[in-house]
Amino acid sequence: MIDEIIDLRRGVSGFIAPADDNFYPVTLTDLRLAREQHNPEKVESPTQIRNERFSLMAELAKLPQDMVFITQITMESAEDNEYLDAMRRANIKGALVDVEAVTPEGLKVVYKDFNYSGNRLSNNCKRSESTGSMCSDRSSFGPPTDRAGTFEATVELALKAGITFAQFVMMTPFPGTVDFGRWEREQAENPMRVEGTPITRYWLIPAASAQRCLRHMR
């Protein structure tokens, strides 16, 4: 990975994003739970993974300081000062956090109740920012727990947490997911059709047809 980054530097400039869904693969809680089981093998594996990540960041820290990195991470990392310090030395200047929802109810319905919400999320974002790593978030609108006030509450939390960059997306039920199956069952036996294609097979609807349908609905 380091060799590839060096090759990239010869031809490009700007941010480099190690596209890891979670750059913090082992949390302090993971290690604590492993130790509580008194099983050396279960402690060894997460410890090795954590050490490998520290080794990677140590190598990144040796690169020229004009090489700036951004990645994706979960908010537990903000409670790990040793890890945050290693990220700072590695010149990792940004971390995208999938907030998903700002309430515990919203997180539970999308099976992300391990994520943080409320003040804990806000405080951890501020803690990350204080180490020099900007915090950006991606929030989703559309879970059944959303209410009229959800939109304002989401924006307020982003402002309170000092989010550098906030992204708001619509929840999309992809085929094969639990959310799609629930949504499909909620439709009538004869769902709305767009030029003959049922809305439950929305990916088969040509873009032009979908746009005409939206204009008509408005």
What is the per-residue pLDDT across 134-193, written as a single tens digit (0 to 9) for each? 677 777 787 778 888 888 888 887 888 777 777 788 888 889 888 888 888 888 778 888
Estimate the share of the chain in helix, then strand, then coil, as percent rounded to the nearest 5: 50, 15, 35
Residue 38 pLDDT greater than 80, yes or no: yes
Alpha helices (runs of H) in the chain, residue ranges in sequence order = 2-9, 28-36, 40-61, 81-89, 104-109, 118-130, 150-160, 178-186, 207-217
Task: Name the average pLDDT for the chain.
Answer: 81
| Residue range(s) of every CATH 3.80.30.20 domain in the chain | 2-171
For residue 41, the one-letter residue type is E
CATH number of 2-171: 3.80.30.20
pTM for this model (two decimals): 0.70
Nearest to 17 by CA among 30, 8, 26: 8
With 0-12 CB in 10 A as exposed, 13-18 as middle and 19+ as buried, what is 129?
middle
